[in-house]
Amino acid sequence: MGVASNDHMGFLGPKTLPFPLEDTRFHPLLIARGRSAHAESSGTEHPRLSWDATSFQAFFRPKAWNAGPGKNQPCQRPLRPAILRHPRFRGLFDFAIPVLLWGGLFTPELWDNLNQHKAPYGWQGLSREAIASTLSLLNGSESSKLFNAPRDQSPSCIQCAVVGNGGILNGSGQGLNIDAHDYVFRLNGAVIKGFEQDVGTKTSFYGFTVNTMKNSLISYWNLGFTSVPQGQDLRYIFIPSDIRDYVMLRSAILGVHVPEGPDKGDRPPSYFGPEASAGKFKLLHPGFIGYLTARFLKSRLINTNFGDLYMPSTGALMLLTALHTCDQVSAYGFITNNYWKFSDHYFERKKMPLIFYANHDLSLEAALWRDLHYAGVLQLYQR
């Protein structure tokens, strides 16, 4: 198939299993196969994402640099020149917008701005104390940029692979190609053991919401996802889809049990390892998520009855994060035009069909990856 993840579970409660197809509560969320919901709709914008794509930029630092290390040698497939050559994409990408949120960006002005928008695009209805206490722990330079390697130790061309969990990877033999990249992004139910030849073994970044992480552990435990990836050099990218993500992040940095909310009593070291500290964690900026949605993935679903459920998939957010921070990007395990040939995920023992739900617009995402591939902005694995 090529879908990025198990994100169709992303709007469920904290302790729930992924909903069965026969559960009639969710049947209205099904979108017919092959039918895109990305066409622009008329009428009033949904309040969850009510801004213009540029309305929040004044609250960001004007020359934010997301990649960090410098570059001396050209890439074989540099993405920025390809973007500048493309009449559509050169008007969409804005590399000045901060990708990550950290304590140095937390100001009264930013609070007032993001307090107008619901999560994951802002902080409306969320506890200011919880957010402020979390961001106060993300106060080092390593929290402000994705790549922390010193300038003289960084690759001259930062090459990134973003690995979704799509069934297209089963039997692909792409493991060595994936591991050859400088950085490898994985997400949600990233099963590696037993699939090394197809998906590789290297993990630099693991992206998730607390909900998708825990649902993946529940749903795919019997299929091999028995723990979140861990490693000395691995970094975790939190996607702030709810207050629970801020609470879990704060608890993980402090090394304490989660004190409140749906994850109360959880031990973050059981997910992220015993040596986790602030330097292990990155937090996507809600404004960056809003910018990505407004510019790249503004689905027609936003203005439907299911608008409060819609957000880009975890895989889409990780891939677009890489496109805003890396010099050259390859995408593996993402939805392609022939998704129906493959199982939902590469680690399933029997073929499972991809089902389209209204919390993501996978058809819109597929069209975006295709267009970026043909524009030379990324290399999309297809077969």
pLDDT at 27: 29
Report residue 127 as tokens: 């506890």
What region, left, alpha or beta, does residue 156 occupy, with left being phi > 0 and alpha being psi -120 to 50 degrees?
Answer: alpha
Q: Is 222 exposed, middle or buried (0-12, 13-18, 19+ CB in 10 A)?
A: exposed
pLDDT at 68: 44
Give the predicted TM-score (pTM) of the model. 0.84
Q: Distance between CA atoms of 339 and 252, rounded to whole angstroms? A: 37
pLDDT at 16: 30
pLDDT at 7: 52
Is residue 161 within 8 A of residue 379, CB to CB? The reply is: no
pLDDT at 46: 52
pLDDT at 355: 83
Is residue 364 within 8 A of residue 38, CB to CB? The reply is: yes
Is residue 96 within 8 A of residue 63, CB to CB? The reply is: yes
pLDDT at 24: 27
pLDDT along the chain (383 residues), means of 10: 45 31 29 37 48 45 42 80 98 97 97 97 97 97 88 81 97 98 97 98 98 97 96 96 97 97 97 92 98 95 85 97 98 95 94 85 95 98 97
Q: How many CA atoms lie within 13 A of 345 on its CB side?
A: 22
Q: Residues 6 or more apart from 15 whose CB is under 8 A from it?
A: 214, 262
Report residue 298 as tokens: 């503004």
CATH assignment of 7-380, among 3.40.920.10, 2.160.10.10, 3.40.50.1480, 3.90.1480.20 = 3.90.1480.20
To the nearest 10°, report the CA torsion of 181, 183, 186, 190. Answer: 60
Amino acid residing at 108? P
